[in-house]
């Protein structure tokens, strides 16, 4: 099976191709204006694209840099002869609420970025401790989410669920969400030559990312990030096959978000909501499987203290899948049962994040231009919000590009899934 890259960019051009030894793998990248992105291929080459302003187009590129006709590429993908190894996606600018409000809505990018001129807080940029700085004694016993993680004393052989992490068994990587292999981790030096294995487990020389339960998110990522803009997150597997904290000041590996945001399922079947693994390879594999009649917390990152990308605060992006799609078919890159309407091709995206200024913003928007699927149920955001935002019978309130609402600190908002009326 061969690999191909689907590129949805504003006038993307190939700047160059460099041959480097890489394991098989894919990366899910959201294109940014004037950003150079490295995308790994199955044959070991790397393609570099430069994104410039212009109309959005869809292009398919072979590992050797050759462009493939879109119709032909879609046919090869449909027949299973090729696979998508990665994808870029243009920035999404969420429209403001139609109702006038005192909230100043930011412009969100493809990662549901909050644009900011601030610098990253020192709590997220403190260099990781030396690999030799492990606690002198092991704890009496882990107690899940409340347990401090004993850096350097837990084996890399399994996802540390005893410390609150959530294993994702269908990833093919032994429950880890992203594996990033680059051999040596040098403090203060940007990470280069990143390999992204899509099978196997966490091994020495890898940064190993993980999921957390609904309402929680991982706390671990190194200050050192990808040399060409890649995001890297997780625990470090050292030469002794032991997991180390990459942010030692965050002693618990899962933390609650800012809170206040929920999803309620009023359908007659499950509906999966899948968060991208970020910082990481951005695969939509972090699961929230909602069942009828139940309400769940949606992790709402606090941009002031969460991961910053190149001096810019980030928030969370989720993929909402059709009703009845099993969570393992929904929270994956490519669904075997629903290849054009689940996973990376899910119909609808959800953006959630608490801004540096203290307001939470929630957006619903179509997963364009990746997917043409239409969500088979309605979604409405209710609660202590400014403005109106919903998806009814495939139509978004106010704009076909989606809608956004704000929620002030201390409020609550619920994203309601319900049958179309």
Secondary structure, 3-state, the chain: CEEEEEEEEECCEEEEEEECCCCCCCEECCCCCCCEEEEECCCCEEEEEECCCCCEEEEEECCCCCEECHHHHHHHHHCCCEEEEEEECCCCCCCCCCCCCCCCCCCECCCCCECCCCCCCHHHHCCCCCCCCCCCCCCCCCCHHHCCCCCCCEECCCCCHHHCCECEHHHCCCECCEEEECCCCCCCCCECCCECCCCCCCCCCEEEECECCCCEEECCCCCCCECCCCCCCCEEECCCCEEECCCCCCCCCEEECCCCEEEEECCCCCEEEEECCCCCCCCCCEEEEECCCCEEECCCCECCCCCEECCEECCEEEEECCCCCCHHHHCCCCCCCCCCCCHHHCCEEEEEEECCCCCEEEEEEECCCCCCCCCCCEEEEEECCECCCEEECCEECCCCCCEEEEECCCCCEEEEEECCC
Q: Does the pLDDT value for residue 2 go beyond 70? A: no
Question: Worst-scoring range by mean pLDDT, 119-128, 175-184, 333-342, 409-418?
Answer: 119-128
Percent of the chain with pLDDT over 70: 69
Work out the pLDDT band at 62, boundaries 50, 70, 90: low
Work out the pLDDT band at 81, boundaries 50, 70, 90: low
Question: Worst-scoring range by mean pLDDT, 86-95, 322-331, 352-361, 397-406?
Answer: 86-95
Mean of per-residue pLDDT scores for the chain = 76
Question: For position 421, what pLDDT does the model report?
Answer: 79
Q: What is the mean pLDDT of residues 62-75?
A: 67
Q: Which residues of 62-80 are buried (b: 16+ CB within 10 A; e: fewer)?
A: bbeeeebeeeebbebbeee
What span, in angstroms and rounded, lies between the C-alpha atoms of 236 and 151?
9
Q: Does the pLDDT value for residue 31 go beyond 80? A: no
> Higher-confidence residue: 71 or 243?
243
Question: For position 183, what pLDDT does the model report?
Answer: 77
Q: Does the pLDDT value for residue 19 go beyond 60? A: no
Work out the pLDDT band at 270, boundaries 50, 70, 90: very high
Q: Which residue's entry shows tokens 């061969």?
A: 2
Q: Which residues of 1-29 are buried (b: 16+ CB within 10 A; e: fewer)?
A: eebbbbbbbeebeeeeeeeeebebbbbbb
Q: What is the pTM of this model?
A: 0.73
- Largest Cα separation within the chain, whole Å, is 61
Q: Does the pLDDT value for residue 204 go beyond 70? A: yes
Q: What is the mean pLDDT of residues 370-398?
A: 95
Q: Which residues contact 102 (CB under 8 A, 6 or more apart)?
A: 386
Instruction: Give the tens place of pLDDT for each residue, 98-154.
Output: 333 333 344 333 334 333 333 333 333 333 333 333 343 445 677 799 999 999 999
Angstrom CA distances, 3 to 36, 73, 338, 370, stand at 20, 11, 19, 17
Asked if residues 260 and 245 have their Cβ atoms less than 8 Å apart, the reply is: no
Pairing, β 27-28 against β 82-88: parallel
Question: Worst-scoring range by mean pLDDT, 60-64, 286-290, 407-411?
Answer: 60-64
Q: Does the pLDDT value for residue 68 go beyond 60? A: yes
Work out the pLDDT band at 78, boundaries 50, 70, 90: low
Asked if residues 366 and 414 have their Cβ atoms less than 8 Å apart, the reply is: no
Q: Does the pLDDT value for residue 337 go beyond 60? A: yes
Question: For position 79, what pLDDT does the model report?
Answer: 60
Pick from 235, 338, 329, 334: nearest CA to 279: 235
Work out the pLDDT band at 194, boundaries 50, 70, 90: confident
Question: For position 190, what pLDDT does the model report?
Answer: 83
Q: Tell me the range of 20-29, 76-85, 138-147, 175-184 where mean pLDDT is highest.
A: 175-184
Percent of the chain with pLDDT over 90: 56
What span, in angstroms and rounded, lies between the C-alpha atoms of 137 and 358?
39
Question: For position 109, what pLDDT does the model report?
Answer: 34
Q: Does the pLDDT value for residue 3 go beyond 50? A: no
> Higher-confidence residue: 401 or 11?
401
Work out the pLDDT band at 376, boundaries 50, 70, 90: very high
Work out the pLDDT band at 61, boundaries 50, 70, 90: low
Question: Worst-scoring range by mean pLDDT, 38-47, 213-222, 316-325, 341-350?
Answer: 38-47
Q: What is the mean pLDDT of residues 369-398?
A: 95
Residue 279 preceded by cis peptide, ω within 30: yes
Pairing, β 45-50 against β 82-88: unpaired
Q: What are the structural domains, with CATH classification, of the chain?
A: 2-88 (no CATH), 256-418 (2.60.110.10)
Residue 122 preceded by cis peptide, ω within 30: no
Question: For position 286, what pLDDT does the model report?
Answer: 97
What span, in angstroms and rounded, lies between the C-alpha atoms of 6 and 30?
12
């Amino acid at each position: 099976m061969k690999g191909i890259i689907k590129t949805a960019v504003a006038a993307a051009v190939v700047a160059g191709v460099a041959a480097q030894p890489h394991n098989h793998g894919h990366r899910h990248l959201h294109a940014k204006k004037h950003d150079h992105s490295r995308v790994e291929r199955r044959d070991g080459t790397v393609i570099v694209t430069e994104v410039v302003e212009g109309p959005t187009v869809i292009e398919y590129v072979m590992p050797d840099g050759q462009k493939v006709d879109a119709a032909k590429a879609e046919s090869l993908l449909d027949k299973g002869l090729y696979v998508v190894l990665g994808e870029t996606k243009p920035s999404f600018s969420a429209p403001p609420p139609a109702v006038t409000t005192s909230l100043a809505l930011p412009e969100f990018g493809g990662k549901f970025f909050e644009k900011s001129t601030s610098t990253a807080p020192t709590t997220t940029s403190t260099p990781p401790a030396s690999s030799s700085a492990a606690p002198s004694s092991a704890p009496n016993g882990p107690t899940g989410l409340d347990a401090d993680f004993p850096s350097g004393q837990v084996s890399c052989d399994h996802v540390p669920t005893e410390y609150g992490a959530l294993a994702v068994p269908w990833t093919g990587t032994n429950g880890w969400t992203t594996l990033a292999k680059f051999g040596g981790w040098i403090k203060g030096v940007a990470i280069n030559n990143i390999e992204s294995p899509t099978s196997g487990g966490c091994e020495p020389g890898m940064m190993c990312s993980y999921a957390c339960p609904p309402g929680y998110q991982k706390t671990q990522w190194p200050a050192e990030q990808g040399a060409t803009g890649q995001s890297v997150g997780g625990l470090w597997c050292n030469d002794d096959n032991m997991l180390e904290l990459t942010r030692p000041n965050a002693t618990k590996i899962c933390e609650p978000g800012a809170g206040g945001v929920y999803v309620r399922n009023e359908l007659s079947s499950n509906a999966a909501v899948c968060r991208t693994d970020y910082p990481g390879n951005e695969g939509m594999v972090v699961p929230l499987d909602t069942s009828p009649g139940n309400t769940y917390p949606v992790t709402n990152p606090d941009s002031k203290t969460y991961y910053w990308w190149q001096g810019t605060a980030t928030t969370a992006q989720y993929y909402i899948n059709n009703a009845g799609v099993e969570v393992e078919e929904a929270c994956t890159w490519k669904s075997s049962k629903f290849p054009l309407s689940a996973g990376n091709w899910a119909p609808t995206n959800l953006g959630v994040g608490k801004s540096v200024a203290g307001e939470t913003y929630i957006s619903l928007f179509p997963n364009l231009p990746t997917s043409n699927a239409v969500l088979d149920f309605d979604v409405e955001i209710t609660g202590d919000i400014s403005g109106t935002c919903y998806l009814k019978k495939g139509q978004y309130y106010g704009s076909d590009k989606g809608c956004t609402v704000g929620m002030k600190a201390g409020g609550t908002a619920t994203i309601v899934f319900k049958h179309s009326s």
